C-alpha cells in the first residue's frame, strides 16, 4: 500500500510539472482589426458587420483556434458582439487573416447615440475584447485593446 501511494504521488507530481512546462514562455498573440464593413443585405432584421481580423502568433507552437467570442464597446456601451466557431490554425511564428460577423447591440448603440447627442465630446473611448479558445488542455487567451478616437474635425492649415 505504501508503494502504491508513492507511485501515485510521483505520477501526480510528474503530470503537474509537465502541465506547468507546456508553455512557460507563452507570449500573448496579437489581434489586429484589418477591415470593418457592412455585410451585403440579408433577411436578418439587424444589420451584420464583417470584421477582418489578423492574428499574429509570436510563439514556437501553433495556435489551433477552436473559436472565439468578442465584443466592441464605445464609452462603456457594448455596440457589437458575436462568437465565431472553427477558426483557422495559426502557425508557429505565423499570421492568419479571417473575417468574422458581428451583430450590433441596438440598445447599447441607442444609449451611445443618445449620450453623444446630449453631451459634446471631443473623443470617445473604445475597447475591443476577444477570448480565443485553443483547446481543452489550454486556458482561454483573453485579448483586450483599448484606446481613444477623436471626434474633432482636423483643422486645415492654409
Quickly list DSSP for 58-83.
-SSS-EE--EEEEEEEETTEEEEEEE
- Residue 16 placed within a domain: no
Judge whether 74 and 55 are in contact, CB under 8 Å.
Answer: no
- Residue 145 placed within a domain: yes
Q: To 5 degrees, how large is the angle CA 108–CA 114–CA 118? A: 150
Structural domain range at position 110: 24-150
- Residue 50 placed within a domain: yes
Please report, for the domain that includes residue 106, its CATH number. 2.60.40.1820
Q: What is the dihedral of CA 31, 32, 35, 39, to 10 degrees?
A: 20
Please write the tens of the pLDDT for every residue from 25-46: 778 888 888 888 888 865 556 7
User: Domain tally for the chain?
Assistant: 1
Query: To the nearest whole number, what is the mean pLDDT of the chain?
Result: 81
- Residue 14 placed within a domain: no
- Residue 19 placed within a domain: no
- Residue 123 placed within a domain: yes
Average pLDDT score over residue span 104-127: 86
Claim: this prediction has a pTM higher than 0.85: no
Amino acid at each position: 500500500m505504501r508503494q502504491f501511494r508513492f507511485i501515485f504521488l510521483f505520477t501526480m507530481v510528474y503530470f503537474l510539472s509537465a502541465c506547468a512546462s507546456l508553455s512557460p514562455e507563452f507570449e500573448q498573440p496579437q489581434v489586429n482589426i484589418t477591415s470593418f464593413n457592412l455585410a451585403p443585405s440579408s433577411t436578418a432584421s439587424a444589420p451584420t458587420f464583417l470584421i477582418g481580423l489578423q492574428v499574429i502568433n509570436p510563439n514556437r507552437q501553433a495556435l489551433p483556434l477552436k473559436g472565439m467570442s468578442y465584443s466592441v464597446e464605445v464609452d462603456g456601451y457594448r455596440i457589437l458582439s458575436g462568437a465565431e466557431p472553427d477558426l483557422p490554425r495559426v502557425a508557429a511564428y505565423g499570421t492568419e487573416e479571417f473575417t468574422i460577423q458581428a451583430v450590433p447591440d441596438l440598445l447599447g448603440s441607442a444609449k451611445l447615440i443618445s449620450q453623444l447627442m446630449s453631451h459634446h465630446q471631443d473623443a470617445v473611448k473604445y475597447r475591443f475584447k476577444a477570448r480565443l479558445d485553443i483547446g481543452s488542455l489550454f486556458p482561454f487567451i483573453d485579448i483586450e485593446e483599448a484606446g481613444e478616437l477623436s471626434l474633432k474635425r482636423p483643422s486645415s492649415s492654409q
